[in-house]
Structures are given as C-alpha cells and as structure tokens.
A and B are shown apart, each in its own frame.
Chain A
Amino acid sequence: MREAAVVSTPNPLQRIPGVAIVLVLLVALFSAIAPGFLSVANLSNVLVQSTILTMLALPMTLIIMTEGLDLSMGAVLTLTSLCVAIVSLATKSMLLGLGAGLLVGAAFGVANGWLVAILGIPPFVATLGTLGMAQGLSLIVSDGQSVVGIPHGVRDIYSATLLGIPVPIVMALVTYAAFHGLLYHTRFGTYIFALGGNREALRYAGLSPNKLLIAVYAIGGAMAGIAGLLMTARMNSGHPTAGLGLEFDAIAAVAVGGTSFERGNGWLLGTLLGVLSVGVLRNGLNLISLPSSVQVASVGVLVIVALFLDGLRSRA
C-alpha cells in the first residue's frame, strides 16, 4: 500500500483481464457439465444472488483505489439490515425503514472516513475497530434475536419484477451505472483517482483530500445501508449476524476484478466480473453437487488463479 507511480484511467480494450478469462471459462465449463445451468431461471438466480455483494464491491473499488480498505462493510450491512427491520416493524413503513438503514450506514461511513482522514489511523485498523462496534451494536439492539413480522412492502422488493426483470438486478444495474458515471465522467471521479495516486495534486488545486476521503467512505456506508434493505427483504427479517464476512468477499471480488491495491487503478467492470465469477462458481458447484469441502477449496483456487493470470498479463 505505497504511493502509486502513475495514475491512469483503465482502457479495457488494451487487455483481456484475468477475470474475464476466468468468467468465460467458468460459464463454458458449467454450461457443459451442470444440467440446468444455462436456464433462464438459474442465470437469473445467479444475477440476483450477486446483487448484495455488487452493492458492497462497487464502493469498495473506490475505497481501494484511495489505497484504503473497509473491513466494516459486512458488520455495517448487518446493522443496517437490523435497523431496516426494526424501524419498518415499528413504523409499518418500508421507506422509513430504508431511511433508517441509509442513515446508520452513512453514519458509519463518515466515522470510518473521519478515523482515516482526520485521525490518520490506517484504514485496516480503523475499519477493524468499527467492525467490532457495528457487530456489537447489532447484538445490542437485537439482543441476539432475529427481528420478524416486518411489513410485506420490504419483502416484496426482493421478489418483485420490473418489466420482467427482478428488482434487485435493476437496482444493481442502476447502481453500476451511477458508479460508472461518478468515477469516469465527473470531476469527483478524477479526484478519487488522485486520492489514490497523487494527493499532492489535490492540495495544489485547493481541494481537501480529507473531505474527499470521508465522502468516499460515506458512500461505502450508504451503499451498505441499501444492501441492508435488500438483505432484510431477502430474509424477511433482520438478523444480528447475517452479513458478517461479506467485506472479504467484496475485497476479493475487487482484487480478482483487476483493481490493484498498489497502483490506484480502478476498474468497475472488473469488479462486477469478479462478483459474477464467484457467484457463477458457487452456483455451478452446487448444481453439480460437488462436496462442500471441495467447494470451499475451489473459491480459494479461483481467487489465486485470477490474480495469477492478472499478474502474468501486467508483466508481459
């Protein structure tokens, strides 16, 4: 996690990234050996199952581009999922529940940003600390119990369709479009690249890297809030440990997708492909009923192979 030598905008046409190869190979493999893989129902499942992780991995890409990390995302997701459940149960309103989730998520995001930017605590440590705090708060507000009985409006979000496309997929597509626009077509996006490679340039331009950094982490927190709504909708309940550990999946997806920890490069599409690769792998392995221990090992192999291929390419 050192200073980057170069800030560059990614041009996917210049290279075929490791993750794309991996994804294509996986899809080809499972189409051949897993009956039912290529069905509309199954592919739709894979996409829907990947939406929550996508919501976390996209902001994580931005955070990693600033040479940071957010380990608290899974725990914050769990907490916001609980908030959505508790508030919508109490007020019978899905919107208020969503608002509560967004608020709590953004608050943790701002806290993370403050710890990292103002107090100067390394992101790994700062977010490790907020992870504990979010986890603790989840246990405290729920007393270790699931929260059930929430209004149907919440649940329907996960199962409803818009023009035949499941709502979660629509949400993920909109999110992706928003992040893409933000990163590649706004000034704020160029600032994010600068945060990763060239903070001095920001100061010379009269901008405050600290405020920008806080904004990036706040976006992460807010996205955890939206993902919390999806999680609660999926389980039709809030649960005090449901989302723990997802941040590592998100980080792995970002890394597999080609965003490097060290160069301040960011490739959103790569992150999306990374999320899909893991989703396709899990789905395919389930369909061919491979023993669970082998499935576990396969995830590790996937991650290593994808990064290895990526490393080969950048050295070529």
Chain B
Amino acid sequence: MKQKLGYLTLPLLMAAAFTTQARADGETIAVFTKNQTNPFFQTVRVGADNMAKTLNAKTLQYIPTKPDSIPEQLSQIEDVVVKKPSAIVFTPVDYKAMVPGVEKINEAKIPVVNITDRSAGGKFLSFVGADDYSLGLETARFLLKTLGGKGNIVIIEGVKGSLTNVDRVRGFNDALKEAPGAKLLASQPGNYQRLQALQVMENLMQSNSQIDGVLAANDAMAVGAIEALDGANRKAQVIGINGTKEAIDAIKSGKLLASGDYNGFAQGCLGTMMAIRSLRNEPVISEIVLKPTVITKDNYQPFDVPLEQRKCPTFEEAGKLSAK
C-alpha cells in the first residue's frame, strides 16, 4: 500500500507546483484611460492587453462614457476599489483633479502605476510616460531646422486646460524662441479636432498671405491643416504629435513633415508590465520617460507596423527606452 502511495507522491507534487503557478498568474489589472474616441488611447489599451496576455494576466478596461469626464473617472475609481483588482494602470483624466482618486486607491492598498500624464499627487510604484514638453520642443525644432531657422509660423493649439496641450504648446514656443528668424503669426485653438483645425487654418491663410510652417499640437489637427492648405493650393511644412497611423501615412506621402512619437502602445505595455512584475515581486523600473522621437520620412519604418502585429518591448528593452 505504502509503495503505491509513494508512486502518487511525484505526480501530486507536480500538480501542487502547477496549481501554485496558476495561482500566481491570472492577476486582474484594471486599466484606466481617458476616452474611447482618441486613437492614442486605443493604442494604450491594445498595448496593455498585449502585455497582460503575454504574462498570463487579465485586463479590465475602464473608460468614462463621457470623454475626459473627471467626475466619471472618480466614480470609476470608487467602483473599482470595491472590486479590488490586483493592480491598476492609471491615466488621469486630469493630472491635478484626480489626485483624491489616486489617494483612495492608495488607501485601499491597491498597487498602481501612473502612465501618460504624470499625476500631481498620490503614490505610484512606477511612472511610464512621454514628456509632452520635449515632444513639442523636438518636433518644432525639426520643423524650424527644415525651414532653415526662419519663416512665418502658426500654432494650432489643442484643448484649453489639457495638460498635453499646455506642455506641447510650451515646447513649441520655446523652440520658436531659439530661432530668432522665425516669426509667430498666430496661435489659435483647434481643440484637437480636425474640422476645427481645418477651419482655423483656412481663416489664418486669409489673414496671412505667407505661412511657412504649421505647428499642430496633435496629428488630427495637422491633417486638418494639410487639407486646408491643399484646398487653397498653398504649401507649408506641417508637423503634428502622436504618431498615429494616419500621420505616418501622411509622412510617407510627403504631406506631413514629421510627427512627435507619443508611443501609447509602449506606455500601455510597460505600465502593465511594471504592475504585473510588482505583483510577482520582480524588479520594477520606477520611472520610464520615453525618449522624444520625431518620426520623419527617414525613420518611419519601425513605426509603420499595424497595431495587431506590434510586440511589447521586453524588460531589458524597457530600460533602454528611457530618456534618462
């Protein structure tokens, strides 16, 4: 009898080992993004889902039904705290207003990673983001360099009050300060919308007969400005920010000069990676600020991969992606 039980020991031990391993995986990561409409956040979500699947964990997506709604995201945090996911990957709808929400997450002792917009408060085990200011600065610098440091420039701003807008436009303006030969003709809001940017551009072309460069705070507006220019048979160098597929196609065809790479996919991947690693007691990188990359006609190829085929960076690669 004892011998027969002895034969069972090894399989039992193996079974125990496997079940313990299954219990260590299968974590639930709640991912918070700002809205459903901006393609950028779709890339964040796909990145997060991708990483979770690779690491054998599960994601739950939390998106406000009203785009960028502060009260709704606060409510979603309160709801999520009741559900108690294993960890949270968090993009604040507003980096200042969401602080009480983050503090609630901290009180509930749920580990949380901050991605995209750096929150003004609360405790995070890691931050993964891009620096909108440097993106604006570098992309604008590229345009100004292409123009030889001089020319007539217009800025098309995003949504008043949004952090990305404030920082990108600040980057634009600082780049302009470095080029004394460049003249800022106007800075008007396009609200990150292509139609509004198109109409703003049409109007600006009327009051300014010579526009050499357009600094648009996002790709949708850049594309709108390009349509306006085409419609009026005028030419100017246009840059955008985000690095969307639409922008890369426009860069390929020569219509768009460049776009600042705001790599949502990588941010989703890495944020989720850090969350899962922390749950598994593996080392975590506490801050990844992605290097500002300007996508141009010369370097677009690695960015021109369809979302479904993109692969998340590995932990070793993650360390190299940071600007620091």
Contact assessment for B66 and A145 in the assembled complex, using a CB-CB cutoff below 8 Å = no
A240 to B282, CA, bound (A): 41
Contact B60 A289 (CB under 8 A): yes
Q: How far is the CB of A38 from chain B (nearest CB, A)?
A: 11
State whether A296 and B82 are in contact (beta carbons under 8 Å apart), knowing that A145-B161, A239-B97 are contacts in the complex: no
- Whether, in the assembled complex, B96 has its beta carbon less than 8 Å from a beta carbon of chain A, the answer is yes
The 8 A CB mask of A41-80 against B (1 = contact, 0 = none) is: 1100100110010000000000000000000000000000
Expressed in whole angstroms, the Cα–Cα distance for A146 and B160 within the complex equals 11
Main secondary structure of the interface of A (DSSP, over half): helix
Partner of B82, one of A48, A239, A287: A287
Measured CB to CB, the nearest residue on chain B to A35 is: B83
Q: Total number of A-B contacts with CB less than 8 angstroms?
A: 97
Cα distance A292–B69 when bound, in Å?
A: 13
Q: Does B71 contact A (CB under 8 A)?
A: yes
- Is B54 interfacial (CB-CB < 8 Å)? no
Distance from A315 Cβ to chain B, minimum over Cβ atoms (Å): 32
* Chain A residues whose CB sits within 8 angstroms of the CB of B36 once the complex forms: 292-293, 296
Chain A interface bracket (under 10, 10 to 19, 20 to 34, 35 or more) = 35 or more
Give, as a whole number of angstroms, the nearest-CB distance from B104 to chain A: 9
A283 in contact (CB, < 8 A): yes
Known pairs A45-B79, A144-B161; A237 contacts B97 (CB<8 A): yes
A122-145 contacts to B, CB under 8 A, are 139, 142, 144-145
| C-alpha gap A293/B65 in the complex (Å) | 7
Query: CB of A299 within 8 A of chain B?
Result: yes
Query: A296 to chain B: which residues have CB within 8 Å?
Result: 36, 65
Cβ-neighbour of B166 out of A42, A145, A242, A289 (below 8 A):
A145
Distance in angstroms between the alpha carbons of A42 and B82 in the assembled complex: 6
Assess the A287–B79 pair: CB atoms within 8 A.
Answer: yes
Partner of A240 from the list B71, B100, B161 (CB cut-off 8 Å) is B161
Q: How far is the CB of B161 from chain A (nearest CB, A)?
A: 4
Please indicate the chain B residues that have their CB under 8 angstroms from the CB of A260 in the complex.
none
Picked from A35, A139, A236, A287, the residue with its CB within 8 Å of the CB of B100 is A236
Chain A proximity mask over B228-266: 1 for CB below 8 Å, otherwise 0? 000000000000000000000000000000000000000
Q: Is the C-beta of B57 less than 8 angstroms from some C-beta in chain A?
A: no
Q: Is A11 interfacial (CB-CB < 8 Å)?
A: no
CB of B204 within 8 Å of the partner chain? no
Question: Which residue of chain A is the closest to B70 with respect to CB atoms?
Answer: A242
Q: A234-B71, A235-B97, A242-B94 are in contact. List 7 more A-B contacts (CB 8 A).
A: A42-B79, A45-B78, A45-B79, A235-B94, A235-B100, A236-B99, A299-B65
Q: A235-B100, A289-B60 are in contact. Are A241 and B161 (CB under 8 A)?
A: yes
A263 within 8 Å of B (CB atoms): no
User: Which listed residue, B71, B74, B161, touches A142 by the CB 8 Å rule?
Assistant: B161
* B300 CB–A CB distance under 8 Å: no
* A105 CB to nearest chain B CB (Å): 18
Q: Quote the shortest CB–CB distance from B321 to chain A (angstroms).
A: 29
Interface 1/0 per residue, B77-100 and A, CB below 8 Å: 011101100000000001111111
Contact of A283 with B79 in the complex, beta carbons under 8 Å: yes
Candidates B96, B160, B166; contact of A148 at CB < 8 Å: B96
Q: Is the CB of A52 within 8 A of B80?
A: no
B199 interface contact, C-beta 8 A: no
Name B99's closest neighbour in chain A (CB-CB): A236
B76 touches A231 (CB 8 A): no
Bound CA span A81–B75, Å: 18
- Closest 5 pairs (CB-CB, A-B): A146-B96, A292-B63, A144-B161, A235-B97, A144-B160
Q: Are A36 and B75 in contact (CB under 8 A)?
A: no
- Residue pairs across A and B with Cβ atoms less than 8 A apart, 27 shown, are A35-B83, A36-B82, A36-B83, A42-B82, A45-B79, A49-B78, A144-B160, A146-B94, A155-B100, A158-B100, A235-B94, A235-B97, A235-B100, A236-B97, A237-B96, A239-B96, A241-B68, A242-B97, A245-B69, A283-B75, A283-B79, A286-B62, A286-B76, A287-B79, A292-B63, A296-B36, A299-B65
